Amino acid sequence: MTAIQTFVQALQIFPAGFSAGLGILGVGLYIGNYVLIALNRVDSRAVGYFLVNTLAASCVLISLSREFNFASALIQLFWISLGLLAIAVRMGRSARAYKGVQAHAACRRPLPACCRRRARRRAPVPRVHVSPLRGPKAKGAKGLTLPLQ
């Protein structure tokens, strides 16, 4: 017996109606997730987006136990693995950022140069407009734009 047949038999523990319902739920989750992105209600870089996508792919994969389609199973496995990878990356990144903030807050020392550079890239830069002949100008005026240091 191949690994695919074993996998399909393992998924057949669910009743037929339950599997079909899970497939419909998965499709609904996919569609709902993409509608929320289109309406700017969800950030496509957020962990929640990947959680919903992974859950939707899992539901559709379970529904394939009754009417197995190898290509569909492969794409669902791809979405599940990609979603889990994205969640792990985002969770690791936020944990590292949280630890860094806590460590610097505890010692009350200035941030090291690497952290200052990273913070500077994310923070909005105040700018002043400079005319070569008259000096600083009002915002929106034409002239050379320099960041304030």
Average pLDDT of the residues in 93-98: 68
DSSP assignments along 9-39, one per residue: HHHTTS-HHHHHHHHHHHHHHHHHHHHHHHT
Indicate the residue type of 141.
A
131's CB contacts (< 8 A; 6+ apart) are: 137, 141, 143, 144
Tell me the per-residue pLDDT of 100-125, one tens digit each, with 9 for 90 and over. Answer: 655 555 555 555 555 655 655 555 55
Residue 35's pLDDT band, with cuts at 50, 70 and 90, is: very high
Instruction: Return mean pLDDT, the chain.
Output: 76
pLDDT tens-digit readout, 63-89: 888 888 899 999 999 999 999 999 999
